Amino acid sequence: MGHSLLEALNVRVVGSGDRILVLAHGFGTDQSAWQRILPFFVRDHRVVLYDLVCAGSVNPDYFDFRRYTTLDAYVDDLLYILDALRIERCTYVGHSISATIGILASIRRPELFTKLVLIGASPRFLNDKNYHGGFEQSEIEKVFSAMEANYAAWVNGFAPLAVGADVPEAVREFSRTLFNMRPDITLFVSRTVFNIDLRGVLGLVRVPCSIIQTAKDVSVPASVATYLKNHLGGRSTVHMLDIEGHLPTSPPLICWRRNSGERCPGDDEGIGRKEGKKSFNWGIMDRHVANICGLFFSPK
């Protein structure tokens, strides 16, 4: 794909600053998933956004069914992008599948990453002896059959589960991005994801990691975060968010939480308007967003 990979994967670099932040979205969404997070970083970061090749916003013709059978191919894409942008050091924020991609990328090129922020990451989704990944093989097969039988029904059933909280807007937004994906690609990627097992390689990670895990995530049991912390090779910390769902960064979810959560003085103007202000007041931000964003950088 050559140079066009950057275009194909809708790579965007926004903001200015010395520090570089890479935001990589999770399964079933695209880079729009970061839209509520983005404003907090553009002031003093160069933020790199891109879409995974499996995202609905990417031309499905690029999805090579032979190549993307393992996550390594996704890692290739990520590294290609970073190299093409001549990025030498960056903080990488990966959600869900992208967290896994980040882990693998950091094993291959540890020098590229100052830190990994892993949101809803899991080294393996299937249960095994002495390991609780959250899914039994038979359950997965059922999910796959459901997807094959009626994709629309599956999406409509899965989206609320993944979002966790009862926020119709968030469910709708996730359904939208899920529906944007070509169904066969969704199924294929799901199979790839459920096939992975990073347990034997976590120790090879040298980069410090921040593991962000929600209290109740339909895809990742809370215990997985601890597992990651114990097995990742580098210095790592776990941050449990006292919220539900696999998509803590979902824009509508953040909106909702902001609106329903504790309000701070001056919050009425809305997040979007804050961008232009010179001094960035973390105090007026929603606690949840502050949590997430803050965590990206908390342990130095």
Partner 1 sequence: MPTPVSVARQCLAEAAAAVLDDAITVAKRRSHAQTTSLHIVSALLALPSSTLREACTRSRSSAYSPRLQFRALELCVGVALDRVSVSKSAVDEPPVSNSLMAAIKRSQANQRRHPETFHLYQLQLNSDSLNSSSMSAVKVELKHFVMSILDDPIVSRVLGDAGFRTQEIKMAILNPLTMSRFSSTTSRPPPLFLCSLSDLDLNNFPFSEDAATEKVDENSRRIGDILLKSRRRNPLLIGVYASDAYRKFVDCLKRGETGVLPKEIDGLSVVSIEHEISECISSEEMMEVKFKQVVEMLQDCQGPGFIVNVGDLKAFLNVKSVDVVNSVVSKMKGLLINPGGKLWLIGFLSGDGDYKKLIERFPSIEMDWDLHLLPITTSSIGENFMRSFVPFGGFFTMPSELESLCTTATKSSRLCNLCNEKYEQEVSDVLKGVSTNSVADKQSVNLSSWLQIAECETSNRCLTVEAKEDQTILDARVTALKRKWSDICQRLHCSSTSQEDITLPNPHTSFQNFHIQKESANVSPCMPSDFQTIYLPKQEIIPKPVVLSTSVDTQSEIRVQGLELNDFQNSSASQKKMMSLPIACTSSPPVTTDLTLGTTLSDSAEECRRKPNLQEHYNGIQHSESSLSYDILSHQVSQSSSCSYHREKQMYTKDLENSWNVLAEKVYWQVEAIQTISQTVSHCRNGNGRYHCSNKGNVWLSFVGPDKVGKRKIASAVAEIVFGGKEHLLSFDLSSQDVISPFNSIIDCHDPKYHKMKSGRKMIVDYLADELTKHPHSVVLLENVEKADLLVRIVYLKQSKRVNFRFPWKGNQHQQQCFCPRIDCPKEDTDTVKSDDENDDSDDSEVWLEELLEHVDENVAFKPFDFDSLTQKILKKIDARLKQVGGSTLLLEIDREVMVQILAAAWLTDGKNALEDWIEQVLCLSMEEARQSCNVTSDVVMKLVQYDGLVVEAQASELCLPARIKVK
User: Where does this chain bind partner 1 (CB under 8 A)?
Assistant: 1-2, 4, 7-8, 56-57, 59-62, 64-67, 69-73, 100, 104, 107-108, 124, 144, 148-152, 155-156, 176, 179-180, 182-185, 187-188, 191-192, 195-204, 233
190/214 with CB nearer partner 1? 190
199/287 with CB nearer partner 1? 199
Contacts of 29 (CB under 8 A, 6+ apart): 55, 95, 174, 177, 178, 247, 250
| CB 147 to partner 1: min, Å | 9
185/241 with CB nearer partner 1? 185
* Residue 27, φ and ψ in degrees, nearest 5: -65, 135
| CB 40 to partner 1: min, Å | 25
Looking only at the bridges linking them, the beta strands covering 19-24 and 45-50 are parallel
Task: Look at residue 119 and give its three-state secondary structure.
Answer: strand
60/294 with CB nearer partner 1? 60
192/250 with CB nearer partner 1? 192
Contacts of 139 (CB under 8 A, 6+ apart): none
Decide: residue 261, CB within 10 A, 0-12 exposed, 13-18 middle, 19+ buried: middle
Catalytic residue among 217, 236, 250, 288: 217
- Tell me if 44 sits within 8 A of 14, measured CB to CB: no
| CB 204 to partner 1: min, Å | 5
Catalytic residue among 32, 51, 96, 250: 96
Crossing angle of helices 168-180/251-260, nearest 10°? 170
Catalytic residue among 45, 95, 239, 246: 246
- Tell me if 211 sits within 8 A of 121, measured CB to CB: yes
Q: Has 166 been annotated as catalytic?
A: no
| CB 191 to partner 1: min, Å | 5
54/285 with CB nearer partner 1? 54
| CB 15 to partner 1: min, Å | 21
Q: What DSSP letter does each residue of 24-69 carry, written as one string?
A: E--TT--GGGGTTTGGGTTTTEEEEEE--TTSTTS-GGG--TTGGG
Task: Determine the Cα–Cα distance for residues 181 and 83; give it in Å rounded to an integer.
Answer: 27
| CB 262 to partner 1: min, Å | 34
Decide: residue 197, CB within 10 A, 0-12 exposed, 13-18 middle, 19+ buried: middle
Task: Determine the Cα–Cα distance for residues 14 and 29; give it in Å rounded to an integer.
Answer: 19
Task: Look at residue 131 and give its three-state secondary structure.
Answer: strand
Q: Has 246 been annotated as catalytic?
A: yes
Annotated catalytic residues are 96, 217, 246
